[in-house]
Amino acid sequence: MNRCYDPSNSGYQWYGAKGVSVHPAWKGNPEAFVEWSLVNGWAPGLHIDKDILCKAKEISPHIYSPETCQWVPAKVNVATATNRDNYGR
């Protein structure tokens, strides 16, 4: 959340400054995010990914939402992150 909305956050340049946002259903209701996570494959060690589905659906700027997020292994998340020099490798 802070990476998207707090300009003093070290990750803001890669998220909020690029227009990345959080769906209102999650932004105002953390419990809704937790509930979605438990129903949609969260497990210890997985990372949330928005980039894969946003790219596939041609959504830009990317958004953390029930329609654009999925839980993936860390290796997949890092390989597909749009804020990394290794994007797409």
Q: What is the pLDDT of residues 2-21, one digit of tens each?
A: 999 999 999 999 999 999 99
pLDDT digits (tens, 9 = 90+) for 50-72: 999 999 999 999 999 999 999 99
Residues 6+ apart with CB under 8 A from 31: none
Q: What angle do CA 38, 43, 47 make, to 5 degrees?
A: 100
Tokens for 82, please give them. Answer: 């749009």
pTM for the structure as a whole:
0.86
Contact 79, 89 (CB under 8 A): yes
